[in-house]
Amino acid sequence: MIEGPYLLFLGDAADPLAAKVAQGIRDWRPDAALGQYRMQGCNADMGLPDMTPAEAAAKGARTMVVGVANRGGVISPAWVEVLSQALEAGMDLASGLHNLLRDEPELVAVAMKTGRALHDVRVPPHRYPIATGRRRPGKRCLAVGTDCSVGKMYTALAMEREMRARGMKATFRATGQTGILITGGGVPLDAVVADFMAGSIEALSPANDADHWDLIEGQGSLFHASYSGVTLALIHGGQPDALVLCHEPTRTHMRGLPEYTLPSLEALRDLALDMARIVNPEVRVSGVSINTAGLDAGAAERLLRETEARLGLPTTDPFRHGAGRLVDALA
């Protein structure tokens, strides 16, 4: 586990999008976002107090999180200096970059000297077991998508927040780098070795109280030729009781695959159910989450109503309208 609260390192972010990890932490774990550190030329701002590593440490920050992705994922020499200061101030470091903290000799030396930890969340923290497929108590909800990057993480986080606000027992389970940095733990599923994918998800969402819900972050899509195997391991390891279908209506082809069009929500529903029933015959589709960011309010409203009527399932955009109806369907 990565210890909070965090100082969010925004570095020299070229634009706000480059700092989307920091944005995710600020949006979803505001209590963990103590402050931000911006370098010369930084074009992102989380609206948090600007602090040096020493100031943040004095206020209780335990980890400086690299909340920015720069082109190529490299860790620049200018960064190393600030990251070293954070270690010297008594904080750990956490990063989801392709280039690893542990591959920077200077950071490794300072971490050794100061006894601090370097968390590279792209690297699985330990070996996972082979999945057993055994039924386990507790409820699990999994977001599945017509494509990659259609709002699966956002949907699960919004549902967790709503459930907790209602006093329900709920835990978001991160399966990707951003989700792990937001919550402080999880499984970087895309980096797990094939044989252990489903087992890692069983480990991530273990037996729990009968009325506890795990909201498992989805990955990829059963219809995405590059990543479908990851998605299926998530379905079979997660053993979901409920599936939420996620979709982005303006997408013209599968992400990164210009020759592939998106499946319909009906096709996703049918295939995901076929797959999930293998491990849980009682699984059902509980709702639809549509990312309407690309539509104006009227068009979004019409699409949601039309989809709800067509599929006979609660349909919402949790960002625009909250996750209440998706949670109603689980309760």
Largest CA distance in the chain: 62
Choice between 17 and 225, CB closer to a second copy = 225
DSSP codes joined into one string, 241-288: SEEEEEE-TT--SBTTBTT-PPPPHHHHHHHHHHHHHTT-TT-EEEEE
CB of residue 205 to a second copy, shortest distance in Å: 14
Q: How would you list the strands of the sheet with 92-95, edge to edge?
A: 33-38, 6-11, 63-66, 92-95, 118-120
**Residue 208 is a binding residue for a second copy (CB under 8 A):** no
Q: Among residues 22 and 192, whose Cβ is nearest to a second copy?
A: 192
Least distance between a second copy and beta carbon 88 (Å): 34
CA distance 218 to 229: 12
Task: Name residue 214's beta-bridge partners.
Answer: 140, 171
HSE-up of residue 194 (Cα within 13 Å, Cβ side) = 3
Residue with smaller CB distance to a second copy, 83 or 143? 143
d(CA 48, CA 7): 10
Which of 100/275 has CB closer to a second copy?
275
Of residues 122-181, which lie at the interface with a second copy (CB under 8 A)?
A: 130-135
Q: Is 223 in the site for a second copy (CB under 8 A)?
A: yes
271 is a site residue for a second copy (CB under 8 A): yes
Phi first, then psi: give them for residue 227, nearest 5 degrees: -125, 5
State which residue, 74 or 267, has the beta carbon closest to a second copy. Answer: 267
Shortest reach from residue 53's CB to a second copy, in Å:
33
Give the nearest distance from C-beta 73 to a second copy in angstroms: 15
Q: Is 121 in the site for a second copy (CB under 8 A)?
A: no
Question: What kind and span of H or E run contains 120?
Answer: strand 118-120
Contact residues for a second copy, defined by CB under 8 A? 130-135, 189-195, 197-199, 222-223, 225-234, 236-237, 254, 256-257, 259-260, 263, 271, 274-275, 278-279
